[in-house]
């Protein structure tokens, strides 16, 4: 069975860490994203990861709305804690977030790229 998140937008500047409750406790390793995104800036690679793995539930842009009621818009993360606090969780398998968020595990370069993108879109405090 193909996971729901695998049917999301292709990684031509795409991404999503979760896909609203349809995945339950599914685990994903995000190893193929770097290969599908052309060499570019960390911010653009991070945006592609966010669109592919996170956009199914989270607002990943500067003005969009999260489709899952418990999914924090990425632009508001720094209002709750420093964005870089997600680094360890993304590397070890994120187990936090909304209750039906599946765990994800990213490679170090993917983590840096994703966090660079998230930092770039934060709302001013």
Residues 32-52 have a mean pLDDT of: 78
User: In sequence order, what DSSP letters do the residues of 29-96 get, joined into one string?
Assistant: EE-SHHHHSPS--HHHHHHHHHHHHTTTTS--SSS---SSTTPPPGGGGGGTS-GGGGHHHHHH----
Question: In this predicted structure, what is the pLDDT of residue 106?
Answer: 87
Instruction: Please return the burial class of 89, using the count of CB atoms within 10 Å of its CB with bins 0-12, 13-18 and 19+.
Output: middle
- Out of 6-10, 33-37, 101-105, which region has the weakest mean confidence (pLDDT)? 6-10
Within 10 Å of residue 40's Cβ, how many Cβ atoms? 13
Question: Could you tell me the pTM of the whole model?
Answer: 0.67
Q: What is the mean pLDDT of residues 69-77?
A: 94
Residue 90: per-residue pLDDT: 85
Tell me the average pLDDT across 46-50: 96
Taking 80 as the threshold, does the pLDDT of residue 104 lie above it?
no
pLDDT per position as a tens digit, 53-64: 999 999 999 999
Handedness of CA 59, 88, 9, 12 (dihedral sign): positive
Structure tokens at 47: 């945006």
Q: Please check the confidence at residue 119 and state whether its pLDDT lies above 70.
A: yes
- Cβ count near 92 (within 10 Å): 11
């Amino acid at each position: 069975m193909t996971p729901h998140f695998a049917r999301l937008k292709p990684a031509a500047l795409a991404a999503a860490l979760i896909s609203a409750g349809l995945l339950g406790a599914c685990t994903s390793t995000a190893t193929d994203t770097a290969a599908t995104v052309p060499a570019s800036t960390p911010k653009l690679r991070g945006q592609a990861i966010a669109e592919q793995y996170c956009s199914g539930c989270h607002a990943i842009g500067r003005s969009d709305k999260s489709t899952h009621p418990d999914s924090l818009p990425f632009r508001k993360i720094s209002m709750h804690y420093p964005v870089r606090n997600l680094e360890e969780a993304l590397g070890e398998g994120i187990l936090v977030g909304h209750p039906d968020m599946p765990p994800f595990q990213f490679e170090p370069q993917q983590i840096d790229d994703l966090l660079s993108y998230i930092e770039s879109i934060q709302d001013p405090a």
